[in-house]
Structure 1
Amino acid sequence: MTWLVTGGAGYIGAHVVAAMREAGEQVVVLDDLSTGDAGRVPGVPLVVGSVLDGPLVGRTLQEHRVSGIVHVAAKKQVEESIRRPLFYYRHNVEGLRVLLEEAVAAGVADLVFSSSAAVYGTPDVDLVREDTDCRPVNPYGTTKLAGERMVAEVAAATGLRHATLRYFNVAGTAAPALTDRGVSNLVPMVFQRIEQGLPPVLFGGDHPTPDGTCVRDFVHVADVASAHVAAARALADGRVTAVTANVGRGEGTSVREVVETIRSVTGTADDAWSRPVVGPARPGDPARVVASADTIRAALGWRSRYDLVEMVASAWAGWTSRDRRPTG
């Protein structure tokens, strides 16, 4: 069978494509290249365009005889979503609606939907389970939750087999050419500051956490990619018809701890200039969100392989590599 990976030329999407190809799956990519790079998916059929373009999506599904979709394409910056909520609803909700409409018309049987821990909002629990109340606190999280419900309702009406993966804080790289080149995520953001000889910035120092900084569940992008492969194969084999699962390590790490790990890996831990400074908290940032990974282990037989040091070390190797293309 052939899988369409939307957003497959982006940071996470390209890792999914690479993992699926390594697993022997046939893949075609649809990406508008607004943040993706065609150089990340060499040797893979690439259709340049948006999921908002229904006729293009329909032709792609038909011409490549697509029988399953991994939907990664989305806008994903929390702060931007607060400033531009309609932009996020258009791309994340309307884009998914168009994709589903074309998928149903083409008889696509399986869908892996990339969701987010942002659907939970600010859960008051140590470990977030899939049945924890979803109360998103920003438009990004709201659009992902709307997407989950849309997928479930379409599946109930059509028999579409589906897996929704709520992944937590993604970091690291599996290859230099696939490195996260943006600076909206914590790890590359700190790398950029260190490269410029500037101290890392902690967004808020008085959160209700042990060291005052946000606590997150950081998961290696290669682990996230392997979770998509596990979900796709379980759907195609008929072992799973519907599942919603967290993708995380089940371990909480504070932002300050991540920054100190970065300072250690980059060899700047003893430099006074690299000591982090505390800036204002970002709106919409919950204090603690850490996954329970029990469901994905039970349903898909998946578990994470990499720890925080491996994430940071791989990301730094990619960041400093000649193979890393400049942002933009």
Structure 2
Amino acid sequence: MTWLITGGAGFIGAHVVRAMLDAGERVVVYDDLSTGDPSRVPEGVTLVKGSTLDRRTLDRALAEFGVDGIVHLAAKKQVAESVAYPLHYYKENVQGLQTLLEAVTTAGARRFLFSSSAAVYGLPDVELVTERTPCEPINPYGETKLAGEWMVRAAGAAHGMATASLRYFNVAGAAEPRLADTGVFNLIPMVFEKLTAGRAPAIFGDDYDTHDGTCVRDFIHVQDLASAHVTVAGALAGRGDGTDLTVNIGRGEGVSVREMISLIGEVTGYGPEAEPEVAPRRPGDPARVVASADRMRTELDWTARQDVRAMVASAWEGWCLYHPEARR
């Protein structure tokens, strides 16, 4: 098969591209390069520069390369930004997906993998979040991902296309330093940034109903996430048209913010300097969001392999590549 990977020049996309290539698939990257980096695209892989809102460029790419399947990763993904600019998020994430689906169904592609998010669950009050946990997103970003799942499922059913929505939990790590996440929007790089600047990392609230009072999250290595895409793509190829899968992609293990910051101190060598300062809670932060990974394990025989220390260590190598002054 030939797969069009939207957002394939981004952090997650670059890892998915490599995993698909390693599995023997043919790949074309489609990216507007607003946050993607063309140097992440492997030699020999075609990069088409274009937006998912650009129907003409999409039609041309789908026809020229004989695309059979799509992995749709391109999206805006910052929660706070989505609150400030909700219409922009709906345009990029929902209208962009609609335009892509229109092009894909017209071209006759048979497989579609959608990058969703644990943000669709909102504030789940459960020990483990299963795919049956009610979806009640609390911000425009999560709303666009849930709307995207609905649209993908409906388009698949109407046009005989096998579809899947992968609900990512907290993605971290890197396969190699140059593929590391260069953004500072998630916990691990935010702590790296503070330590590099000689400042204490922050904990937003230490009075939650958890074992140490700080929020608990499920972290997944980006290489494991990429391998999950290969597994789901293979599952769709083996199932009938109109099939739809919805799966959590996580480890099923929680790590608290305080535990993560302590581990970062160990791995980076900053030790006592990583002692955090406690700040007030942020509105909308749930106490615990940890995936049930049972469906991927039992139905698709997939399990995450890498632990949290591997995520931090590989992310740190990438951070130091781009910020050499950080290394001790």
**Structure 1 length-normalised TM:** 0.95
User: Counterparts of 1:155 and 1:42 in 2: how far apart (Å)?
Assistant: 30
Q: Which residue of 2 aligns with 1:249?
A: 251
Q: Provide, for residues 75-119 of structure 1, a one-character-per-residue CA deviation record: whole Å limited to 9, x for no partner.
A: 111111111111111111111101100000000100011100010
User: Counterparts of 1:259 and 1:70 in 2: how far apart (Å)?
Assistant: 33
Q: Which residue of 1 aligns with 2:117?
A: 116
Q: Which residue of 2 aligns with 1:317?
A: 317
User: Counterparts of 2:49 and 2:323 in 1: how far apart (Å)?
Assistant: 23
Conserved 8 A contact 1:252-1:290: yes
Structure 1 residue 297: Cα displacement: 1.3
Pair 1:94–1:322, CA change in 2 (3 A): closer
Asked whether 1:15 is paired with 2:21, we answer: no
Conserved 8 A contact 1:246-1:292: yes
Q: Which residue of 2 aligns with 1:191?
A: 192
SS in 2 for 1:164: strand
Q: Which residue of 2 aligns with 1:30?
A: 30
Off by >3 Å, runs of 4+ in structure 1: none
User: Counterparts of 1:259 and 1:214 in 2: how far apart (Å)?
Assistant: 12
- Which consecutive residues of structure 2, in runs of 5 or more, have no partner in the other structure? none
Q: What are the equivalent positions in structure 2 for 1:86-165 lying under 5 Å apart?
A: 86-165=87-166
Q: Provide, for residues 201-246 of structure 1, a one-character-per-residue CA deviation record: whole Å limited to 9, x for no partner.
A: 1122233322222111001000000000111121123379321000
Q: Which residue of 2 aligns with 1:308?
A: 308
Conserved 8 A contact 1:79-1:283: no
Letter in 2 for 1:313: A
- C-alpha RMSD of the superposition: 1.5
User: Counterparts of 1:239 and 1:108 in 2: how far apart (Å)?
Assistant: 14
Letter in 2 for 1:244: T
Conserved 8 A contact 1:167-1:248: yes
**Structure 2 length-normalised TM:** 0.95
- Which consecutive residues of structure 1, in runs of 5 or more, have no partner in the other structure? none
User: Counterparts of 1:189 and 1:138 in 2: how far apart (Å)?
Assistant: 21
Q: Provide, for residues 26-53 of structure 1, a one-character-per-residue CA deviation record: whole Å limited to 9, x for no partner.
A: 1001111111100001321001111011
2:262 to 260, 263, 268: 260
SS in 2 for 1:104: helix
Conserved 8 A contact 1:165-1:245: yes
How many residues of Structure 1 are paired with residues of Structure 2 in the alignment? 322
Structure 1 residue 155: Cα displacement: 1.3
Pair 1:322–1:198, CA change in 2 (3 A): closer
Conserved 8 A contact 2:113-2:164: yes
Q: Which residue of 1 aligns with 2:211?
A: 210
Identical amino acids, percent of aligned pairs: 60
Q: Which residue of 2 aligns with 1:63?
A: 64
Q: What are the equivalent positions in structure 2 for 1:263-274 lying under 5 Å apart?
A: 263-269=265-271, 271=272, 273-274=273-274
Pair 1:239–1:215, CA change in 2 (3 A): farther
Asked whether 1:292 is paired with 2:287, we answer: no
Letter in 1 for 2:32: D
